[in-house]
C-alpha cells in the first residue's frame, strides 16, 4: 500500500514541487489549496504513468471545519501517513507600513492553519503506524527578522508548536519535524527587496525544499531529527545559532539585514 501524504499550499512554489516529487516517488498525495486553478494545472502536469497518485481538493487552512471535511473525504479508512503543513503567506517591509490586515493574514494562515492541520489530522495520524508531521518553518525563526516581523513571528510559533508536539506525540508514535529553508525562489520572494535578500540573496529553489521533504520522509527513523536545515548556508547558520548567545545572534542578524 502506498504511503498517503496530505499536503497544503500545493498549487504553486514549494508545495507544487513537493507534490510532483512525491507522486514520482510512488506516494498517494492529496494536494490542497484555495487556488483551484493552480491545483487543476498541477493535476494536468502529472505524468499519467507516474508510480504515485495525485488527488486535489480545495482547502482554506484557516477553517477547521473544512479540514475535518476534506480529511474525511480523502482518508475514509482513518489512516494518514504524512501531513505536510506547507501553506503560508508573506509580506515584507517596514512593520508599520504593512496594513494590519496583512499582518493578521500571516498569522491566520501560517500559525492557525498549521495548528488546525495538526489538530484535525491527529486522529488519522494516531491510527497509522509510523506517521509523521512535517511543518514548513523558516530561517526567520532563528532570530526575529527585521522587515519580516510578522512572518518571522509566525515561524517562531510554528517552531514552538513543532517542538512541543514532537515531545507530546511521541507516546502516539507520531514524529513531528520542521524544515528550515532560507529564502526560496517562489512567488513569495519574487521582487522582494529587503536588507537580508540584498545581502544573503535567494539561492534555494522549490525543488531543493521538495527534496528535503522527501529525505525527511525517507529517513524518518533517525530519532533526533526535529529541525531540518535546508541548504548548506543555513546548516552553518543553524549550527552557529545553536551555540551562540543571544547578543551574538542579534549582531549577526543586524549585519545580515543592514537594518537599524
The string of pLDDT tens digits covering residues 204-240 is 898 999 999 999 998 877 776 899 988 655 444 555 4
The answer to whether residues 144 and 152 touch, using CB atoms and an 8 Å cutoff, is yes
Return the beta strands (E) in the chain as ranges: 4-7, 28-33, 53-58, 82-85, 132-136, 175-181, 227-230
Q: Which three cell numbers stand for residue 3?
A: 504511503
- Comparing 1 with 65, the larger pLDDT belongs to 65
For residue range 87-134, what is the model confidence (pLDDT) as tens digits? Answer: 999 999 999 999 999 999 999 999 999 999 999 999 999 999 999 999
What percentage of residues in the chain have a pLDDT greater than 90?
69
* Residue 243 pLDDT class (50, 70, 90 cuts): very low
pLDDT in the model for residue 1? 74
Cα pseudo-dihedral 92, 184, 8, 225, rounded to 10: -110
Helix axes of 206-218 and 13-24: crossing angle, nearest 10 degrees: 50
Q: Which residues are catalytic?
A: 151
Residues 124, 144: Cα–Cα separation, whole Å: 34
| Nearest CA-CA partner of 19 in 74, 88, 86 | 86
CA distances from 140 to 70, 79, 145, 252 (A): 31, 33, 6, 13
Residue 13 has pLDDT above 90, yes or no: yes
* Residue 254 pLDDT class (50, 70, 90 cuts): low
The answer to whether residues 166 and 226 touch, using CB atoms and an 8 Å cutoff, is yes
Q: Which three cell numbers stand for residue 90?
A: 508573506
Residues 160, 101: Cα–Cα separation, whole Å: 24
* Residue 258 pLDDT class (50, 70, 90 cuts): low
* Residue 199 pLDDT class (50, 70, 90 cuts): low
Can you name the CATH fold of 4-257? Rossmann fold (3.40.50)
Amino acid at each position: 500500500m502506498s504511503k498517503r501524504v496530505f499536503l497544503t499550499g500545493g498549487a504553486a512554489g514549494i508545495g507544487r514541487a513537493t507534490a510532483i516529487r512525491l507522486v514520482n516517488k510512488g506516494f498517494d498525495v492529496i494536494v490542497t489549496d484555495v487556488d483551484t486553478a493552480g491545483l487543476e494545472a498541477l493535476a494536468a502536469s502529472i505524468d499519467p504513468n507516474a508510480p504515485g497518485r495525485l488527488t486535489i481538493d480545495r482547502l482554506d487552512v484557516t477553517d477547521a471545519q473544512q479540514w475535518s471535511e476534506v480529511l474525511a473525504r480523502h482518508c475514509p479508512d482513518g489512516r494518514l501517513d504524512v501531513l505536510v503543513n506547507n501553506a503560508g503567506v508573506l509580506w515584507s517591509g517596514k512593520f508599520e507600513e504593512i496594513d494590519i490586515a496583512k499582518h493578521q493574514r500571516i498569522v491566520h494562515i501560517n500559525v492557525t492553519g498549521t495548528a488546525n492541520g495538526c489538530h484535525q489530522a491527529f486522529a488519522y495520524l494516531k491510527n497509522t503506524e509510523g506517521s509523521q508531521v512535517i511543518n514548513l518553518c523558516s530561517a526567520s525563526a532563528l532570530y526575529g527578522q527585521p522587515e519580516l516581523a510578522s512572518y518571522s513571528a509566525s515561524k517562531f510559533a510554528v517552531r514552538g508548536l513543532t517542538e512541543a508536539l514532537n515531545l507530546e506525540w511521541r507516546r502516539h508514535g507520531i514524529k513531528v519535524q520542521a524544515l528550515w529553508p532560507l529564502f526560496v525562489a517562489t512567488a513569495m520572494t519574487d521582487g522582494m527587496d529587503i536588507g537580508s535578500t540584498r545581502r544573503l540573496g535567494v539561492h534555494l529553489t522549490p525543488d531543493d525544499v521538495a527534496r528535503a521533504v522527501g529525505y525527511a520522509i525517507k529517513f524518518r527513523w533517525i530519532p533526533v531529527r526535529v529541525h531540518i536545515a535546508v541548504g548548506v548556508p543555513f546548516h552553518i547558520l543553524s549550527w552557529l545559532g545553536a551555540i551562540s548567545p543571544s547578543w551574538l545572534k542579534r549582531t549577526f542578524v543586524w549585519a545580515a539585514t543592514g537594518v537599524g
